A = this chain, B = another copy of it.
């Protein structure tokens, strides 16, 4: 009980320090010395938990994705009206991206094949979760079903990602609600007269 925690908390501390150092900076701009210092551990300690710098960043990227994936499944399984679930997802996903988009951006640059594969694995699982959420919307008759799910996903996620990125850079306020409403306007199934969501 005592033993397990410090170990995880040490690795966790490193990852936490790394995410922050990493936001808005290139892979090569972040030095392992910095990370070690920020995490309050020795440089050598990093190598007890990570194979090398790239591995550290891969785990950084993976870390959190899984949590989000889990959360999406939860949201999809909720009982509330579909639009509510969708908007809830939008908000939580935006929060997630706000914290991770820097790391994700770098991972999209990473070449190193083995590292990349691990990341993609987890990333794909998250995408599948989103697909599930959208598929459910179609099955429930809440979303139009004359588009591919993957197109809907792009239409939903793409704008959020772009907005978050620019917000991070320019400091623009994130009019998330508007983006979601726009998506809804285009994606909601055409109800027969008299209906509304």
When chains A and B are docked, how far (Å) is the Cα of A90 from the Cα of B97? 25
A195 within 8 A of partner (CB)? no
Query: Given known contacts A186-B182, A186-B183, is B161 in contact with A106 (CB within 8 Å)?
Result: no
Most buried by B among A102, A105, A155, A157: A155
Q: Name the contact of A158 in the complex, choosing from B151, B161, B187 (C-beta under 8 A).
A: B161
The reply to whether B152 and A182 form a contact with Cβ atoms under 8 Å apart is: yes
Interface size range of chain A in the complex: 35 or more
A28 within 8 A of partner (CB)? yes
Majority-rule SS of A interface residues: helix
The reply to whether B182 and A26 form a contact with Cβ atoms under 8 Å apart is: no
Contact with B along A121-157 (1 / 0, CB 8 A): 0000000000000000000000000011011101101
A163 within 8 A of partner (CB)? yes
The reply to whether A182 and B28 form a contact with Cβ atoms under 8 Å apart is: no
When chains A and B are docked, how far (Å) is the Cα of A17 from the Cα of B42? 31
Q: Name the contact of A154 in the complex, choosing from B102, B105, B151, B179 (C-beta under 8 A).
A: B179
The reply to whether B109 and A24 form a contact with Cβ atoms under 8 Å apart is: yes
A172 surroundings in chain B (CB, below 8 A): 150
The reply to whether B162 and A109 form a contact with Cβ atoms under 8 Å apart is: no
Known: A147-B178, A185-B186; 18 extra A-B contacts, CB below 8 A, are A24-B109, A26-B109, A108-B165, A150-B172, A150-B175, A151-B182, A154-B162, A154-B163, A154-B179, A155-B179, A155-B183, A157-B162, A158-B160, A158-B161, A158-B163, A161-B161, A186-B186, A186-B187
